[in-house]
């Protein structure tokens, strides 16, 4: 075991430049993944914040009797998805419009009749605020005869959702491209090390070292490079996150960093790249010694 470690680390001394290059490439591979993961994670966070405020607004026909509205409110409040139902009367709607839309205050003041409809503002429970559940609630609301129109931010939610998926995919693709480059560079490093150690490998075989023993240091070397690459990527990602934190805000809260489980997954991925890169080339090159 000590010999294995010694050999694995000696490889770094033998080819410091190529070793640094493979670590850097793995680092950048995972940094690319990390950046897009950051974007995706924060879009998800933004989505959560937006979804928290998702309301379905049902506009009522003018002249709907208050008893019907009260009954319907109770009914709707009993939907499994619904958290709260608030009735906004025509007068209240006008008052709000005057308060919120300062530019039109004069126009609203001079109106003879109130053009704004009364509405039911329905907020959904946590876990039901996604596009599908919102649409289901909206469809049910349309069943009421006195409900004129139902509005909710579906397009907005779906667009954000799609954007998040694209960010994740782009990150993954760029990451994979870098990973492929990393695998090639690791292959070159191993070829070099195998050539430098050809004599040693010949003697090992001659005296009866097992194949696993001979290739062990190469695989360990690859895995260590992957680990170091993963750490480089985390440092870069965290640095970027720190720089951006002051600049970008998600609604009212700060942008978030990856969870520790996601960071760990990234490092494991780095180790896997390094290990696989070694595994793929070590057999081929050992055969030529």
Partner 1 sequence: MIRFAHVSKDYPKGAALKNVSLHVAKGEFVFLTGHSGAGKSTILKMMYGELRPSAGDVRVSGYSIGDLSAGDVPKLRRRLGVVFQDFRLLEDRTAEENVAFALEVTGARRDGIPARVMRVLTQVGLAAKAHAYPQELSGGEQQRVAIARALVLDPAILIADEPTGNLDERATRGVFQLIREINAAGTCVVMATHDLDLVKQTTYRTIELREGQIVYDSGAEAGAAAAEDDL
Q: Which of 64, 200, 238, 272 binds partner 1 (CB under 8 A)?
A: 200
Q: Which residue's CB is nearer to partner 1, number 203 or number 235?
A: 203
* Cα distance between residue 270 and residue 233, in whole Å: 9
Q: Which of 96, 162, 211, 284 binds partner 1 (CB under 8 A)?
A: 211
Q: Does residue 213 touch partner 1 according to CB under 8 A?
A: yes
- Which of the stretches 48-56, 152-160, 204-212, 229-237 binds partner 1 when contact is defined by CB under 8 A? 204-212
Q: Which residue's CB is nearer to partner 1, number 162 or number 211?
A: 211
Residue with tokens 């995972």: 30
Q: Closest distance between partner 1 and the C-beta of residue 29, in Å?
A: 33
Q: Does residue 99 touch partner 1 according to CB under 8 A?
A: no
Q: Which of 62, 98, 191, 205 binds partner 1 (CB under 8 A)?
A: 205
Q: Which of 204, 236, 265, 279 binds partner 1 (CB under 8 A)?
A: 204
Q: What is the DSSP string of 140-185?
A: HHTTSTTEEEEE--HHHHHHHHHHHHHHHHHHHHHHHHHHHHHHHH
* Cα distance between residue 197 and residue 211, in whole Å: 15
Site for partner 1 in 214-243 (CB under 8 A): 214
Q: Where are the alpha helices (DSSP H) in the chain?
A: 2-14, 16-52, 66-77, 90-100, 105-109, 131-141, 154-196, 198-207, 211-245, 260-287
Q: Answer whether 223's CB lies under 8 Å from 276's CB.
A: no
Q: Closest distance between partner 1 and the C-beta of residue 281, in Å?
A: 19
Q: Does residue 208 touch partner 1 according to CB under 8 A?
A: yes
* Cα distance between residue 209 and residue 214, in whole Å: 7
Number of residues that bind partner 1 (CB under 8 A): 15
The contact pattern for partner 1, residues 147-186, with x = CB under 8 A and - = no contact, is ----------------------------------------
Q: Which token pair is 286? A: 């050992």
Q: Which of 3, 139, 195, 268 binds partner 1 (CB under 8 A)?
A: 3
Burial group, residue 62, by CB count within 10 angstroms (0-12, 13-18, 19+): middle
Q: Which residue's CB is nearer to partner 1, number 133 or number 205?
A: 205
Q: Which of 102, 109, 206, 287 binds partner 1 (CB under 8 A)?
A: 206
* Cα distance between residue 63 and residue 48, in whole Å: 37
* Cα distance between residue 93 and residue 117, in whole Å: 7
Q: Does residue 253 touch partner 1 according to CB under 8 A?
A: no
Sites of contact with partner 1 (CB under 8 A)? 3, 199-200, 202-211, 213-214
């Amino acid at each position: 075991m000590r010999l294995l470690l010694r050999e694995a680390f000696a490889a770094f001394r033998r080819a410091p430049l190529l070793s640094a290059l493979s670590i850097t490439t793995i680092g950048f591979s995972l940094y690319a993944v990390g950046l897009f993961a950051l974007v995706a994670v924060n879009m998800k966070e933004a989505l959560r914040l937006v979804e928290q405020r998702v309301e379905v607004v049902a506009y009522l026909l003018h002249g709907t009797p208050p008893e019907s509205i009260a009954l319907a409110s109770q009914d709707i409040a009993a939907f499994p998805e619904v958290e709260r139902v608030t009735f906004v009367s025509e007068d209240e709607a006008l008052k709000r419009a005057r308060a919120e839309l300062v530019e039109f205050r004069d126009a609203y003041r001079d109106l003879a009749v109130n053009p704004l409809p009364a509405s039911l503002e329905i907020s959904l429970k946590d876990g039901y605020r996604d596009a599908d559940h919102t649409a289901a609630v909206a469809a049910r609301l349309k069943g009421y005869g006195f409900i004129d129109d139902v509005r909710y931010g579906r397009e907005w939610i779906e667009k954000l959702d799609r954007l998040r998926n694209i960010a994740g995919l782009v990150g993954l693709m760029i990451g994979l491209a870098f990973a492929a480059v990393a695998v090639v560079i690791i292959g070159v490093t191993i070829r070099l090390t195998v050539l430098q150690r050809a004599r040693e490998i010949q003697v090992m075989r001659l005296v009866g070292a097992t194949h696993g023993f001979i290739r062990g240091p190469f695989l360990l070397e690859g895995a260590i490079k992957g680990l170091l690459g993963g750490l480089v990527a985390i440092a870069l990602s965290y640095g970027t996150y720190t720089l951006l934190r002051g600049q970008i805000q998600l609604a009212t809260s700060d942008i978030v960093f990856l969870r520790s489980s996601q960071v760990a997954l990234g490092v494991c991925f780095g180790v896997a790249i390094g290990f696989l890169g070694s595994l793929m080339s070590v057999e081929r090159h050992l055969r030529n010694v």
